[in-house]
Amino acid sequence: MSEIVIKTEQLTKRFGDFIATNAITFEVQKGEIFGFLGANGAGKTTAMRMLCGLSTPSSGKAKIAGFDVYHETEKIKKNIGYMSQKFSLYEDLTVKENIQFFGGIYGLSDREIAEKTQMMSRTLGLETAMNKMVGDLPLGWKQKLAFSVAIIHQPKIVFLDEPTGGVDPVTRRQFWDLIYQAAEDGITVFVTTHYMDEAEYCDRISMMVDGEIKALDSPKALKESFNVSSMDEVFYQLARAATRSSD
Ligand SMILES: Nc1ncnc2c1ncn2[C@@H]1O[C@H](COP(=O)(O)OP(=O)(O)OP(=O)(O)O)[C@@H](O)[C@H]1O
């Protein structure tokens, strides 16, 4: 039987009178690649921060990896990985030192860290760069390294907030190979993106407009129901009704 690892019910966040995330209800299954889309200011980051246990909801319910977003935020943090565009990597440490540092933070043993270091240098093709400063790496490499570090502790879920900003489609595609591998290993991937080529790679997509989820289905089913041939067009049809923009 499939396992539900993210479950929200009417989850809402208000800032004063303004409702940033408005009563969102959805479920995500283990191993699923779930795309969380919406125009600027739609409320994606606000929602993701609640799911990661970083921001207390105003109302509604949510369980992440079985833990409650109001009372079990420390347990949530232990069971998830998180990567945003402003990576957590240290630019003035080498690749190897970054892996060792984050492995230590996540409580891996020295032996596990050594194994992960070897494995990551191989799978990321970073053999010749292990002793280079992260600040000197190309952006695409930094993104792959940041993702690998975010899942170094084999979390149940990894949250990715626009992980591939600023790189070309080929580099994005390589990044997505890592996402597929993680999903195959049973890690659930929750990803926000503005790139519609990436939306096509997701198992299911949620589309947010002005704080609400306006559509939720597989890319194929969404294209069929909107009677269009690309996710770009689905997005356009939904997002053009939006009244908000980011400030
Ligand atoms: N701390 C806050 N106080 C007041 N308003 C906020 C706060 N955080 C976010 N907002 C507002 O909530 C709305 C949703 O913001 P959010 O960052 O969640 O959108 P987003 O979908 O992630 O947008 P983007 O794609 O631009 O990152 C925006 O109008 C924003 O200005």
Structure confidence by residue, pLDDT tens digits, 116-143: 999 999 988 888 899 999 999 999 999 9
Instruction: List, chain by chain if needed, residues with CB within 6 Å of any ligand 1 atom.
Output: 15, 18, 20, 38, 40-46, 244, 246-247
CA of 19 to the centre of ligand 1 (A): 10
Give the CB-side neighbour count of residue 127, counting CA atoms within 13 A.
Answer: 3
Structure confidence by residue, pLDDT tens digits, 27-83: 999 999 999 999 888 999 999 999 999 999 999 999 999 999 999 999 999 999 999
pLDDT at residue 18 tops 90: yes
Give the rounded percent of residues in the chain with a pLDDT score beyond 90: 81
Query: Which residue lies with its CA nearest to atom 17 of ligand 1?
Result: 45
Domains of the chain, each with CATH number or no CATH: 4-239 (3.40.50.300)
pLDDT at residue 115 tops 60: yes
CA of 6 to the centre of ligand 1 (A): 22
Compute the average pLDDT of residues 224-244. 89
Residue type present at position 202: C
Structure confidence by residue, pLDDT tens digits, 160-214: 999 998 888 889 999 999 999 999 999 999 999 988 889 999 999 999 999 999 9
pLDDT at residue 245 tops 70: no
Q: What is the pTM of this model?
A: 0.93
φ, ψ for residue 232, nearest 5 deg: -50, -45
Residues 6+ apart with CB under 8 A from 210: 22, 42, 43, 242, 243, 244
Query: Which residue lies with its CA nearest to atom 10 of ligand 1?
Result: 20
Report which of 40, 59, 42 is spatially closest to residue 50, judged by C-alpha positions: 59
Report the nearest atom of ligand 1 relative to the CA of 244: 29
Structure confidence at residue 86 (pLDDT): 76
Determine the residue of 37, 46, 212 to mutate for testing ligand 1's pocket, defined as the one with the most ligand atoms within 8 A of the Cβ atom.
46
